[in-house]
């Protein structure tokens, strides 16, 4: 899907009247921990704190969709932060499918094949850039 069409669809779902992030985020984690129980152990038990951060980060990412540079700045920080967790492609895959299926449930009739394609493409891009930065030299550490 063309990048602008992808961004438009991602933003449309985030801005939808049906979208309630306070419901979405806990539902997403519940689904993720169901399909990927081993992920539970590496997440902090204080999920309220984590949920608030993810929520802020999602909004931040969505706002940066217009600018590849801003987006990459955020993804570099996220990649750095996830480095020590050594997340596998399978984990990213479970993260993405839990995310899109929770979104589908919350958006109901506003969810379509195109929206699914847009979110999957966007989250795969995010995961790819995070993995790239996680595999690079940690920013700011010079030996
Ligand atoms: C598209 C993929 C992902 C995005 C956008 C993402 C985003 C985030 C954000 C924004 C935070 C909070 C950062 C902060 O503390 O300020 C976070 C924390 C965390 N993420 Fe991810 N994440 C992704 C994938 C994953 C995956 C696949 C795993 C492992 C299965 C994972 C494990 C964690 C853990 C354990 C923390 C908590 C760190 C802590 O506070 O102790 N993430 N993630």
- Domains of the chain by residue range: 3-135
pLDDT band at 61 (very low <50, low <70, confident <90, very high): confident
The pLDDT value given to residue 34 = 93
Residue 111 has pLDDT above 80, yes or no: yes
Q: What is the mean pLDDT of residues 39-46?
A: 82
Ligand 1: which residue has its CA nearest to atom 36? 43
Residue 143 has pLDDT above 70, yes or no: no
In 67-101, which positions are buried (b, 16+ CB within 10 angstroms) versus exposed (e)? eeeebeebbbebbbebbeeebeeebbebbbbbbbb
What does CATH list as the number for 3-135? 1.10.490.10
Ligand 1: which residue has its CA nearest to atom 39? 44
pTM of the model: 0.88
Name which residue leads in pLDDT, 112 or 137.
112
Pocket of ligand 1 (CB under 6 A): 39, 42-44, 50, 53-54, 57, 78, 81-82, 85, 87, 91-92, 95, 123, 126-127
> What sign for the dihedral angle of Cα 11, 7, 126, 28?
positive
Task: Give the Å distance between the CA of 70 and the centre of ligand 1.
Answer: 19
The pLDDT value given to residue 103 = 94
Task: Give the Å distance between the CA of 82 and the centre of ligand 1.
Answer: 6
Residue 141 has pLDDT above 60, yes or no: no
Ligand 1: which residue has its CA nearest to atom 42? 82
Name which residue leads in pLDDT, 53 or 96.
96
């Amino acid at each position: 899907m063309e990048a602008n069409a992808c961004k438009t669809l991602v933003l449309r779902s985030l801005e939808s009247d049906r979208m309630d992030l306070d419901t979405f985020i806990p539902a997403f984690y519940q689904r993720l921990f169901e399909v990927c129980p081993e992920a539970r152990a590496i997440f902090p038990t204080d999920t309220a704190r984590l949920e608030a951060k993810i929520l802020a980060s999602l909004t931040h990412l969505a706002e940066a969709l217009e600018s590849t540079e801003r987006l990459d700045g955020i993804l570099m920080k996220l990649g750095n932060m996830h480095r020590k967790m050594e997340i596998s492609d399978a984990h990213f895959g479970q993260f993405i499918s839990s995310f899109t299926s929770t979104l589908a449930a919350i958006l109901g009739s506003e969810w379509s094949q195109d929206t699914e394609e847009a979110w999957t493409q966007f989250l795969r891009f995010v995961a790819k850039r995070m993995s790239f930065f996680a595999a690079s030299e940690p920013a700011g550490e010079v030996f």
